[in-house]
Amino acid sequence: MITDIFMILLLLICFGSMKLLADWCEKQVGTAKERKKEKYYHVEEK
């Protein structure tokens, strides 16, 4: 049972770290910033 909990925790950490990596990559390529900018201009135009 303890090994099961450890394995499930390890899987959760693995997937969680990939979410963090995706956030970091988004920051690097700056696509989030561009999306926000696009939204901003879109609102301004309206």
Partner 1 sequence: MLQIIITLAIYIALVIPVGNYMYHIATNRKTFADPVFNRIDRMMYKVCRIKGEGMTWKQYAISLLMTNAVMVFAGYFILRVQGILLANPNQIEGMEPTLSFNTIISFMTNTNLQHYAGESGLSYLSQMVVITFMMFTSAATGYAACMAFCRGITGNSKGVGNFYEDVIRITTRILLPFSIVIGILLIWQGVPQTLAGTATVETIEGRLQDIAMGPVAALESIKHLGTNGGGFFGANSSTPFENPTIISNLIELYSMMLLPGACVITFGKMAAERKKEKTGNAVAKIKRNVTCFGSQGRTIFAAMSILFLVGLTVCYLAEKSGNPLLAEAGLDQTVGNMEGKEVRFGVAQSALFTTTTTSFTTGTVNNMHDSLTPLGGMIPMLHMMLNCVFGGKGVGLMNMIMYVILAVFLCGLMIGRTPEYLNKKIEGKEMKLVAIVLIIHPLLILGFSALAVMTGAGQEGITNPGFHGLSQVLYEYASSAANNGSGFEGLADNTYFWNITTGLAMFFGRYIAMIAQLAIAGSFLAKRRVNETVGTLRTDNVLFVFILVFVVYIFAALTFFPALALGPIAEHLVLWMP
Q: Is 3 near partner 1 (CB under 8 A)?
A: yes
For the CA atoms of 17, 18, 21, 23, the dihedral, rounded to the nearest 10 degrees, stands at: -100
Pick from 7, 36, 39, 40: which binds partner 1 (CB under 8 A)? 7
When the beta carbons of 19 and 46 are compared against partner 1, the nearer one is 19
**Separation between Cα atoms, residue 20 and residue 11, nearest integer Å:** 14
Tokens matching residue 30: 């700056």
**Which alpha helices (DSSP H) does the chain contain, by range?**
2-29, 31-45
Q: Is 9 near partner 1 (CB under 8 A)?
A: no
Task: Tell me which residues touch partner 1 (CB under 8 A).
Answer: 3-4, 6-8, 10-11, 14-15, 18-19, 21-22, 25-26, 28-32, 34-35
